Structure 1
């Protein structure tokens, strides 16, 4: 379980998170949505300990993460933009991450799932953006951790890879894992998310199921429902 209590974060005079309270129960896929600058990335990086809040606390499984680091070993994180060493081959990067983590991994299944076999001996500098994203997904999903955070995981993926990703996330959920996902692709969110959290200007304007969101806004799909909330909050 993730508990966020009275979280505040400023960058200079810019208040990015404002008195944010949030509880995320274990298990399921939670989509964190909001326009650019809404505080999504700051929230995620606060959970990861990459951003230190000005006020408030974050508890994971009942323990505060302040001045802690070991809890991160139970989290996998896919950043929105991954900067890889261009001179490494794909298989060398995977091996390096395995050596660093010193944990059991299932990279061969994921390499096959995303069709990366032909690219293992290629240098990262030669890969397309979509292929780099598949490598990024393999590196994130190859370890068995209870919490997975994915920042825009669909970026650059072709339709087949997107189907495989959705199926894999469903399997991870069925295994009892908690997945936090950000995405601008509302159809993807509607297909995978059990819960939606909508952030705007550092505050939560909605938390609940996609069905609850559609009922509350009287819309037939998540895309129109999110647009309806955005229009209401800006009115």
Structure 2
């Protein structure tokens, strides 16, 4: 699904990604973790073509992304911060995204799932952060794409909506989709992720399952395993 070789990215003198190699196969949930400044967001934006690497190769579905915008048509992306035009109504935004993507959509099912019917005629600028995140989720999942990238998807969600989001992600996984997630919620990662990719200072320090991480760190629970590997990376 995603093959990355010798990826480098510098912003001025700041080396954000360094000699990064990563292979993510098709199907499953992959959590990209790491401390602040580890390169998670830059890596995601490189995959999306929003940041151009200094050097290296990125292939998505066996196609290089260089000078090839069409690969993005088969990616659904949920950004961490939903900066919607405040003067647009929810239904107007959904219609606009549908017109842009020109793909079959299932927004009605998702609007009902997250209880957004009362908000369709409301302007986005009047919505709470949690409601905006639900709109963000609808826009992300209403198209059928093989790769789904979620940046902090749980932000602002109430417990009931979080359960619905988890069920939605698992449904997409069961269809053979590849889901890439960045999050700081370790319980969410432990419940959902098939594999963990742990970044430090722009390179991959660990890639494997939750169980493999706990074996490596000799810990009995996931949060302590993450804390232990963070200490290991600092001492390396």
- Report the TM-score when normalising by structure 2: 0.98
SS in 2 for 1:136: helix
Partner of 2:232: 232
| Partner in structure 2 of residue 38 of structure 1 | 38
- The residue that corresponds to 2:152 in the other structure is 152
2:81 and 2:53 map into 1 onto residues whose CA distance is 23
Q: Which moved more, 1:113-122 or 1:197-206?
A: 113-122
Q: How does 1:121-160 map to 2 (within 5 A)?
A: 121-160=121-160
Specify the alignment match of 2:22 in structure 1.
22
- 1:50 match: 50
Shift, 1:61, TM fit: 2.0
- The separation in 1 between residues aligned to 2:78 and 2:108, in whole angstroms, is 18
Farther off after superposition, 55-64 or 5-14: 55-64
d(CA) in 2 for partners of 1:219, 1:89:
49
Q: C-alpha separation between the residues in 1 aligned to 2:20 and 2:187? A: 27
The within-5 A match list for 1:36-185 is: 36-185=36-185
The separation in 2 between residues aligned to 1:220 and 1:129, in whole angstroms, is 35
- Please list every run of at least 4 consecutive aligned residues from structure 1 whose deviation after the TM superposition is greater than 2 angstroms: none
Question: Which is worse superposed, 23-32 or 62-71?
Answer: 62-71
Task: Compare 20-29 and 90-99 and name the one that shifted more.
Answer: 90-99
Q: Which secondary structure state, in structure 2, belongs to the residue aligned with residue 7 of structure 1? A: strand
Query: How far apart in 2 are the matches of 1:136 and 1:62?
Result: 29
* Mapping for residues 201-220 of structure 1, pairs under 5 Å: 201-220=201-220
Once the two structures are superposed, residues 41-94 of structure 1 have per-residue CA deviations (whole angstroms, 9 ceiling, x without a partner) of 100000011111111000112221111100000001111112101011111111
Unaligned runs of 5+ in 2: none
Give the Cα–Cα distance (whole angstroms) in 2 for the partners of residues 75 and 102 of structure 1: 13
Return 180-189 or 212-221, whichever deviates more.
212-221
Aligned length: 235
Where does structure 1 lack aligned partners over 5 or more consecutive residues? none
Between 161-170 and 96-105, report the one with greater CA deviation. Answer: 96-105
Deviations 1:122-179, CA, capped at 9 Å, x for gaps: 1111100010000000001100000000000000000000000001100000000000
For 2:129 and 2:122, locate their aligned partners in 1 and report how far apart those are by CA, in whole Å: 14
Q: Which moved more, 1:225-234 or 1:176-185?
A: 225-234
1:223 shift after superposition? 1.5
Q: Distance in 2 between matches of 1:219 and 1:104?
A: 46
Q: Distance in 2 between matches of 1:198 and 1:221?
A: 17
CA displacement 1:86-138 (0-9 Å, x = unmatched): 01111111111111111100111111111111111111111000100000000
**In 2, distance between residues paired with 1:214 and 1:39?**
23
